[in-house]
């Protein structure tokens, strides 16, 4: 049998594919071909960068597709024609590989294969990363065999698929001795600015600073800390993110789904400053999901209040940290892999 995995464009989508793929490979054992895995993505976005040379997939296909919503009038028409052509190719791939199930994580990369699944009667499993549904996933939700979301009560699986190391690193936080600023590998100007503004007070309080400034901002931010006479761990992209989160007692971060659930699994109390231009304002709703449970704080980028930040740093973090440890489910990747095998 074969499982077709599709979707992407951005790292948030592709990280889900990678996590579930690894769980499937681990479960079936080395050298086994119990399930043949096939990846279908787009030539646009990061799909090729992630999976073109990934030998866990028997075959990889990259269709010439692009988003529809962000195009002008003629651009939308061209995008729809590209999508239609790719959907016909996807139908042929389902038949060629005798697919038993299609696993989609959304994004424009997923559209052709998701549509083909429904047209051929192939079971379609969708994973939605965010609290505000993506347009494609929202459209396809009524037609999905299973719709997985960590934010929906009716979801068959609540656990978000992240690496086990984040759960292994979970420990109770009390006093804030180390703070981590997370703007993503590309950085976030608002978070960088806030970090530098409050850094002198953090130094007074004896709080260590870890700062993901973004690959293009490292030198500028590091120089600013040096001019302030403050020692800080500054980086852009890193493979040590789990270690940095483990060291932190408090975080100020964007609220992309992966970052949010990794911090939560590590039991790090966090003030989220959502990216204001995210589609459907999904980062704000991601953070609000935890805020409503008294497990996080959220602050709009245009309403950053340094005094409120300082007041948070004086809190005992133990109740929030303990709440995160008790509420975040484990083994999301394994549970999704098991569901795909059952289908």
pLDDT of 78 reads: 64
**Tokens 């929202």 identify what position?**
138
pLDDT of 86 reads: 86
Domain 165-327: give its CATH architecture.
Answer: 3-Layer(aba) Sandwich (3.40)
Domain 2-160+330-342: give its CATH architecture.
Answer: 3-Layer(aba) Sandwich (3.40)
Percent of the chain whose predicted confidence (pLDDT) is above 90: 76
Domain limits, CATH 3.40.50.2000, in the chain: 2-160+330-342, 165-327
pLDDT of 10 reads: 77
Q: Residue 44's closest CA among 69, 59, 18, 62?
A: 62
pLDDT of 74 reads: 62
pLDDT of 71 reads: 54
pLDDT of 220 reads: 96
pLDDT of 83 reads: 74
Which stretches in the chain have pLDDT values below 50? none
Span 134-167, pLDDT tens digits:
888 999 999 999 999 999 999 999 999 998 999 9
What's this model's pTM, rounded to 2 decimal places? Answer: 0.88
Span 287-335, pLDDT tens digits:
999 999 999 999 999 999 999 999 999 999 999 999 999 999 999 999 9
């Amino acid at each position: 049998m074969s499982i077709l995995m599709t979707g992407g464009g951005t790292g948030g989508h592709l990280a889900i594919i990678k996590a579930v793929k690894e769980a499937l490979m681990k479960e079936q054992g080395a050298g086994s071909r119990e399930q043949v895995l096939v990846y279908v993505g787009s030539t646009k976005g990061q799909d090729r960068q992630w999976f073109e040379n990934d030998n866990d997939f028997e075959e990889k296909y990259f269709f010439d597709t692009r988003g529809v919503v962000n195009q002008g009038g003629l651009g939308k028409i061209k995008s729809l024609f590209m999508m239609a052509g790719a959907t016909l190719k996807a139908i042929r791939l389902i038949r060629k590989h005798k697919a038993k199930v299609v696993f989609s994580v959304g994004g424009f990369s997923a559209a052709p294969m998701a549509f083909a699944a429904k047209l051929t009667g192939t079971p379609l499993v969708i994973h939605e990363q965010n609290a505000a549904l993506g347009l494609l996933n929202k459209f396809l939700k009524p037609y999905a065999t299973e719709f997985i979301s960590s934010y929906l009560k009716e979801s068959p699986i609540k656990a978000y698929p992240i690496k086990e190391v984040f759960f292994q690193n979970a420990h109770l936080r009390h006093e804030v001795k180390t703070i981590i600023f997370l703007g993503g590998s590309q950085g976030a100007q608002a978070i960088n600015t806030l970090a530098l503004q409050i850094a002198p007070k953090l130094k007074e309080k004896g709080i260590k600073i870890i700062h993901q400034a973004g690959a293009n901002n490292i030198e500028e931010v590091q120089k600013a800390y040096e001019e302030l006479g403050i020692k800080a761990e500054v980086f852009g992209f890193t493979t040590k993110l789990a270690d940095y989160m483990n060291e932190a007692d408090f975080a100020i971060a964007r609220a992309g789904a992966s970052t949010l659930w990794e911090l939560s699994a590590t039991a790090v109390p966090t003030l989220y400053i959502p990216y204001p231009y995210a589609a459907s304002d999904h980062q704000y709703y991601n953070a609000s999901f935890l805020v409503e449970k008294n497990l996080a704080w959220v602050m709009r980028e245009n309403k950053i209040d340094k005094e409120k930040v300082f007041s948070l740093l004086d809190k005992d973090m133990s109740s929030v940290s303990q709440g995160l440890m008790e509420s975040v489910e484990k083994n999301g990747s394994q549970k999704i892999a098991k569901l795909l095998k059952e289908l």
